[in-house]
């Protein structure tokens, strides 16, 4: 696993032992970031279920203004910190925020802080039953900036409804068994 482009291009990232965390493959990451490349510059980016921090660090490398990593697994939190350190990124910098909460409490906390994001990447464990509930909560809290996007990584057999609250699928891309659904606010479609 490596950073593909930008300031930290080529840096290797630590990955977990075992199968408790499934990092986004370089192929999927490269394809997704080529789609959002114009939107990433100076964006506030939220990496939900951040795992190793792979996606959020790629966002920093490509010019995101600020990245928030939301993760509750202690092993994953350690990996995020290690990978940030490997790239020379200080957690104390205003550009980086690591939140150690479960996803629902984390979204609620960010909402209370009046945070908004141009890009939200949501990549839970594929077998987790949290897609609809989390997207509903994101819709209700309006963490997504008015012109922003939520990118949801899921297994190709996981069918997401075309609309969830104020969110609607704009497009989907499939990479082998992995699918990425791009959500926007309905009023923008």
Domains defined for the chain, CATH in brackets: 26-188 (3.40.50.150)
Q: What is the mean pLDDT of residues 84-102?
A: 90
Tens of pLDDT, residues 12-49:
999 877 655 667 888 999 999 999 999 999 999 999 99
| Pairwise CA distance, residues 25 & 150, whole Å | 18
Tens of pLDDT, residues 115-141:
999 999 999 988 888 999 999 999 999
What are the strands of the beta sheet with 96-99, ordered from one edge? 96-99, 66-70, 44-48, 117-122, 144-155, 178-185, 167-175, 163-164
pLDDT score of 170: 96
Whole-prediction pTM: 0.94
């Amino acid at each position: 696993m490596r950073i593909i482009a930008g300031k930290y291009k080529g840096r290797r990232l630590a990955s977990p032992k075992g199968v408790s965390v499934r990092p986004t493959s370089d192929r999927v990451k490269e394809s997704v970031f080529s789609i959002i490349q114009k939107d990433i510059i100076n964006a506030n980016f939220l990496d939900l279920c951040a795992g190793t921090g792979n996606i959020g660090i790629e966002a920093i490398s490509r010019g995101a203004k600020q990245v928030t990593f939301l993760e509750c697994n202690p092993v994953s939190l350690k990996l995020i910190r290690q990978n940030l350190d490997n790239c020379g990124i200080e957690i104390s910098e205003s550009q980086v925020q690591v939140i150690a909460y479960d996803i629902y409490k984390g979204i609620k906390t960010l909402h209370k802080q009046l945070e908004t994001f141009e890009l939200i990447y949501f990549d839970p464990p594929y077998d987790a039953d949290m897609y609809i509930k989390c997207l509903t909560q994101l819709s209700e809290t309006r963490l997504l900036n008015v012109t922003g996007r939520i990118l949801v990584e899921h297994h190709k057999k996981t069918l997401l409804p075309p609309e969830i609250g104020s969110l609607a699928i704009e497009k989907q891309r499939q990479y082998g068994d992995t699918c990425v659904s791009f959500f926007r606010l309905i009023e923008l479609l």
